[in-house]
Structure 1
Amino acid sequence: MKKIYNILDKSLLVIAFGIIASSCSDDFYDVNENPNDPSISTPIQTLPAAQVTFAELNGTSMTYVGNMFVYNWATPSNWSANSDFFRYNVSSSFYTNIFETSYASIFKNLTYIENYEDPTGAVDYSSYDVIAQTIKGFQYQYLVDLYGDVPFTEANQRAENTTPVYDDAETVYKSIIDSLTSAANLALNLPENAENPGDSDIIFGGDMEKWAQFANTIKLRMLVRLSNTGQEAYIKEQIALIDANGVGYITADVMANPGYSKNADKQSPFYDYAGYDEGDAETNRHDYTVATDYTIDYLSSTNDPRIGYLYSPSEDADEFKGVWQAINLPGEGYTSDDLSKIGTGLIKSPTQDQPIMLLAEALLIQSEAIVRGYIDGSDAEAKQLYNDAITASFEYLEVEDAATEAETYYSQGVKNVGWDTSSDKIEAIITQKWVILNGTSSIESWIENTRTGFPVDLPVSGDSDGIRPVSLLYPTSEYSRNSENVPPTSREDAFTNYPFWK
């Protein structure tokens, strides 16, 4: 399958990583005149900085949290790591960078891009506005899904307002949907003097039609997320606006790559985070992240060849073996050498593209939209999208003879594998989404489990109280700097503060 990415030239790569290193601020909402140098930085320099951080956050912390909370990964007996996950100890100090980096770096740089005006008036930066709005939409959606109310209307106003109000979650959601509509339309109707970002855009290389498709796809995901809210008329009205712009949805994996290389701090984010360092030494996280028993059993029982790409055979016994999520495990037979670690379909090379959104996920969203009646289409069309999503997953993981192997897999008469065998099509779609996003965007699987309850028999950690978290808590730093506006929370809220769309 064709993957979309563009490589920055060496000078832009230096700028991208350089700005990233210096752009974070203690003030989440203070967008400086320039994140690097007030006199020279323009959108062509700031854009890759925003995109690099965006790709890194989604490919590391957000991926790890999701995979733990949907029971894909566990920790072997020879490591005392991840205890907060297994106790479901979600607090105001738990993975705070998801919230903080979004504001302090990603939104900060994107807002700078949106506010930038060429002092000569000769250059139009509408293309950059499209990209900024689309990435903001993607990231704000997750902040609402994970936290609820967030700063929006008063956020990112530089020193003019360092204590923004928290806006109602549904209001933010619908504002994002409107912004994505505008972004897609603008991408297709740019002024003649609009500068194309070209290779400074490390995701689509300045292809604005692809940005319009991506905006449409994020918007559709958000609309389907509203399936439990009784807003069918609104959902269909918004999908009609997608149809009106005529470019549809993404047709390939959305990937970022600024020129990742086998050098310190330059490797592809997930490879570096959960794979190997620049000297080929195994990272601690790769050694202490192993498969769960449930996931291995599920993949084995459904005859899924992706098992050999999502996970590696154990080093000692050369077998696929997982373990339950728990802090204290018996030592014999449950060390990192005895269990399956993250596989080669996910950890490919230090230069690999960083996934932002897989085509497989987009196809499943469209399939669900047809099943729910949001998009016109027959059962046969929904089935084709479902089967195509599975094929796309096989191709992303680089399964040998992917199309044939995928067809053999989804042709089985197995519930939640074969379309015709699955009486509940939504359950089949979300269950496959859980498999497809294993190791990549599993934060999405966690949110979808909250929305739908699928997979229905997904276990919880053995050291928990038996209830899976449904949200994250605002970071301690927010209570320090914006105490008058941040909503009060307690640990219990992580289990009871459902997203507004639930």
Structure 2
Amino acid sequence: MKTIKLIKSTLLALSIVIMTVSCSDFLDVNDNPNDPSISTPSLTLPVAQTDFAALNARTMTYVGQFFMYNWATPSNWSANQDYPRYNITTTFNTGIFETSYVAIFKNLTYIENYEDATGAVDYSAYRAIAKTIKGFQYQYLVDIYGDIPYTEANLRGANTTPKYDDAETVYTQVIDELTAAAELALNLPGNAEDPASQDVIFGGDMNRWAQFANSIKLRMLVRLSNTGQDAYIKAEIAKIDANGAGYITEDVTANPGYSDNTDKQSPFYGFFRNPSTNSQTDRGDYTVASDYTINYLTGTDDPRRERLYAPAATGGAYKGVYQSTTLPGTGFTSNDLSKVGPGLLVSHDQDQNIMLLAECLLLQAEAVQRGYITTGNAKDLYNEAIEASFATLGVPNAVTAAQTYYSQALPNVSWDASPNKIEAIITQKWVALNGNSSIELWVEYTRTGYPAGLPIPAESGGVRPVRLLYPASEIARNSANVPTLTNQDAFTKAPFWK
């Protein structure tokens, strides 16, 4: 039996990766971009973006994949014990909270507040970018933790014990910030500094930043669908329509110059493959497909199966296993099962996906179906989303293959054959975001309960988590402000929008 000693907190591992990536050839600088006191927005922005991409690619996707039953662990490894047991404690995946505040928000706040001493350079483009990324990450912190530090956060020495703001209030304020970010991106002053290549996501294309801000805002507004705030949702979507930028038209990705060197690979790829040799990391060997997901993709004749998963080393079949810490050995080892596939692990320098076009199109389809967006056709958007998913995963002849797929008269595959359109949309999102931004799948399941019939591990106690607990490190240093929670609250205290 192979065993590994898993670090309870992912912060140390993430920080090592982040620091090394930040010192890649692309980001080599004389000043230290991780110390804002001696940096500038042009040096700090790519560091913040790289940290942001890595956190979402690794920890947040890994949590989402296991909570949504896409991945499992083979019988010859004792890794990932906490996942099938849903052992949600104050030491479970703390890097989501800690890296957001300690690295990402610290640098983005520095960018927002920076003023050129000479007054000759305007950094409005950088501020618009910082606001947009903060909006993306703050949304997930509310979705995952509830109340969080916001109004007093990121003040460094001025306030090291910030208060916790009400989750719904943070949501509303973040929506306002995204509105402002899109407006700023579209209306820069004439002397605004062009981020250009220092922007490792859009290369300084501010219209695309406005589209991204609008898309994140739409996701937040759709998240409020159960709260009885339809008038507010429609009014905020009208503001999106008014700025004229629309929504993203291609996958949002980051690439600061990933390379085939230690700790410089594209972060998702580097989770599963070693540099230079392309051999499996331990994680690449102990992360395998779940039986439910393989069976679902096979049963719906979905060619994305061959892109999301690889055939088993032994026998060449596509095979998954149920989530458990007590699997039988025969037929359930890592070589017997499908691992992460070629549509997700493309190359060491692959772009790191942040938000897929498929997700945004499905958000629009839901908004149309619910009457929030009054233009467009929900069915067309749904079908376009499936086509975009096929293209992202590299399915051969993607559009034709997608059309063949969604023409099957199957519920949650064909729009017309789906009696519950929202269920169809969320089920397709579950497939499209497998291995990409997968934390979104868990949050959407909490909101909607779809996909229906998703298994729960036998060792979990029969209830899926609806939130994470605040990290022990935060409780220790900010005990007067951190909300008091029990381990059971991870399963009962749902987000405000539930």
TM-score class normalised by the smaller sequence: over 0.9
**Cα distance in 2 between the residues matched to 1:276 and 1:215:** 35
- Residues 411-438 of structure 1, C-alpha deviations (whole Å, 9 max, x = no match): 1100000000001100000000000000
Distance 1:481 1:10, change over 3 A: closer
What is the match of residue 440 of structure 2? 444
**Cα distance in 2 between the residues matched to 1:179 and 1:310:** 35
Distance 1:10 1:106, change over 3 A: closer
Cα deviation for residue 497 of structure 1 reads 1.1
Which amino acid is 1:260 matched to? Answer: Y
Does residue 400 of structure 2 align to residue 404 of structure 1? yes
**Cα distance in 2 between the residues matched to 1:225 and 1:72:** 22
**Cα distance in 2 between the residues matched to 1:60 and 1:10:** 19
Which residue of the other structure, out of 365, 390, 397, is the alignment partner of 1:394? 390
What is the match of residue 427 of structure 2? 431
Which amino acid is 2:392 matched to? Answer: Y
**Cα distance in 1 between the residues matched to 2:218 and 2:475:** 34
Which residue of the other structure, out of 315, 318, 321, is the alignment partner of 1:317? 315
CA contact (8 A) 1:250 1:362 kept: yes
Cα RMSD over matched residues? 1.4
Which residue of the other structure, out of 358, 361, 367, is the alignment partner of 1:360? 358
What is the match of residue 227 of structure 1? 225
**Cα distance in 2 between the residues matched to 1:161 and 1:13:** 30
CA contact (8 A) 1:51 1:202 kept: yes
What is the match of residue 15 of structure 2? none
Distance 1:155 1:367, change over 3 A: same
Which residue of the other structure, out of 491, 494, 498, is the alignment partner of 1:495? 491
CA contact (8 A) 2:26 2:257 kept: no
Alignment of 1:77-476 (within 5 A): 77-377=75-375, 381-476=377-472
Give the secondary structure class of the aligned counterpart of 1:239.
helix
Cα deviation for residue 300 of structure 1 reads 0.3
Which amino acid is 1:445 matched to? Answer: L
Give the secondary structure class of the aligned counterpart of 1:166.
coil
**Cα distance in 2 between the residues matched to 1:277 and 1:298:** 33
CA contact (8 A) 2:24 2:264 kept: no
CA contact (8 A) 2:147 2:164 kept: yes
CA contact (8 A) 2:73 2:323 kept: yes
Point out where structure 2 has 5 or more consecutive residues left out of the alignment.
1-21
Give the secondary structure class of the aligned counterpart of 2:354.
strand
Q: How many residues of Structure 1 are paired with residues of Structure 2 in the alignment?
A: 477
Identity %: 64
TM-score with structure 2 setting the length:
0.94
Which amino acid is 2:485 matched to? Answer: T
- Residues 162-207 of structure 1, C-alpha deviations (whole Å, 9 max, x = no match): 1000000000000000000000001111010000100000000000
**Cα distance in 1 between the residues matched to 2:160 and 2:194:** 33
What is the match of residue 30 of structure 1? none
TM-score with structure 1 setting the length:
0.93
Give the secondary structure class of the aligned counterpart of 1:167.
coil
Cα deviation for residue 11 of structure 1 reads 5.6
Point out where structure 1 has 5 or more consecutive residues left out of the alignment.
1-7, 24-33
**Cα distance in 1 between the residues matched to 2:215 and 2:146:** 22
**Cα distance in 2 between the residues matched to 1:76 and 1:453:** 27
Cα deviation for residue 14 of structure 1 reads 2.0
**Cα distance in 1 between the residues matched to 2:292 and 2:84:** 15
Which residue of the other structure, out of 65, 68, 93, is the alignment partner of 2:66? 68
Cα deviation for residue 158 of structure 1 reads 1.6
CA contact (8 A) 1:9 1:199 kept: no
Cα deviation for residue 282 of structure 1 reads 0.7
